[in-house]
Amino acid sequence: MQKPLFPLIAKQATVRRRGKVLVGPVDLTLGGQGTTIVIGPNGAGKTTLLKMLHGIERMNGGVLDWACPIEEAQRRQAFVFQTPIMMRRSVVDNLAYPLQLIGVARREARARAAHWADQINLGDALERSAMLLSGGERQKLALARALIREPDVLFLDEPCASLDGRATREIEEILLRAAATGTRLIMSTHNMGQAQRLADEVLFVLHGRIHEFSSAKTFFEGPQTAQADAFLRGDIVE
């Protein structure tokens, strides 16, 4: 039996670059269930916050504590970026790559990759070069590549930012399936419809800080702060 990964507790967590505070100080406790959607104006620090929580943004102050040792916590998470990076390899080899990194035998890795390709409707494109995929197909592949290791928590930074409706729908379906099977999702989006469709809880970020953190129902029906209320109404929030 694995130790629990959550709660994730941030205390005064801060990221500064060149003397400027990008995020923090953040005090936050994230529980082990559901989907957390991170919203806020452009430049509020959503990406940096996600990268900090994932451990790929160096902190200049504060602490970040997972319920298990940090090396184990790192193995149990994955991250999907807004602009995915494809390797100059086939679809199946891109999918199999993270498994091969953790020592899964080639034959098994390719079998699991083929299964995942089916899940994202790329089952007919196994041998196609990933460089030739459309933007939506690339993002689906990136998502599958992150999920193939069965992470306990998946961070996503605006994964649908430049995708059309159909690709967005497909990505959301994959995310809902992952969430239904217990994968913890922590994701930023600027699409309020998407936030409402996916969120169990909402983190509203402003000026690098957590301005409001509540259940999706509470947040969308009655935000507690004037800024969140203005943001939801579509006003420019500075």
For the bound state, the minimum distance from the C-beta of residue 101 to another protein, rounded and expressed in Å, comes to 8
* CB closer to another protein out of 29 and 83: 83
b or e along 71-83 (b: 16 or more beta carbons within 10 Å of the residue's beta carbon)? Answer: eebeebbbbbbee
Query: Which 121-150 residues touch another protein, going by CB under 8 A?
Result: 131
For the bound state, the minimum distance from the C-beta of residue 79 to another protein, rounded and expressed in Å, comes to 8
Q: How many CB atoms lie within 10 A of CB 104?
A: 18
Query: Which 55-74 residues touch another protein, going by CB under 8 A?
Result: 55-58
For the bound state, the minimum distance from the C-beta of residue 131 to another protein, rounded and expressed in Å, comes to 7
Q: Which of 153, 3, 151, 8 is nearest to 66 (CA)?
A: 8
Is residue 190 at the binding interface for another protein, with CB under 8 A as the rule?
no
Strand ranges inside the chain, DSSP E: 8-17, 20-30, 35-39, 61-65, 77-80, 153-157, 184-188, 201-206, 209-215
For the bound state, the minimum distance from the C-beta of residue 75 to another protein, rounded and expressed in Å, comes to 11
For the bound state, the minimum distance from the C-beta of residue 143 to another protein, rounded and expressed in Å, comes to 14
Return d(Cα 96, Cα 223) in angstroms, integer: 43
The number of angstroms, rounded, from the C-alpha of 94 to the middle of its chain's C-alpha atoms is: 19
Strand ranges inside 56-146, DSSP E: 61-65, 77-80
Dihedral, 117, 123, 125, 130 alpha carbons, nearest 10 = -10
For the bound state, the minimum distance from the C-beta of residue 231 to another protein, rounded and expressed in Å, comes to 25
Show the binding pattern over residues 82-101: x = contacts another protein (CB under 8 A), - = does not.
Answer: xx-xxxxx-----------x
Q: How many CB atoms lie within 10 A of CB 118?
A: 13
Show the binding pattern over residues 6-45: x = contacts another protein (CB under 8 A), - = does not.
Answer: -----------xx---------------------------
Which range in 78-86, 109-117, 176-184, 197-205 contacts another protein by CB under 8 A?
Answer: 78-86
Which range in 75-83, 174-182, 188-196, 220-228 contacts another protein by CB under 8 A?
Answer: 75-83
| AA letter at 68 | C
Which range in 80-88, 197-205, 207-215, 216-224 contacts another protein by CB under 8 A?
Answer: 80-88
Q: Which residues form the interface with another protein (CB under 8 A)?
A: 17-18, 51, 55-58, 79, 81-83, 85-89, 101, 131
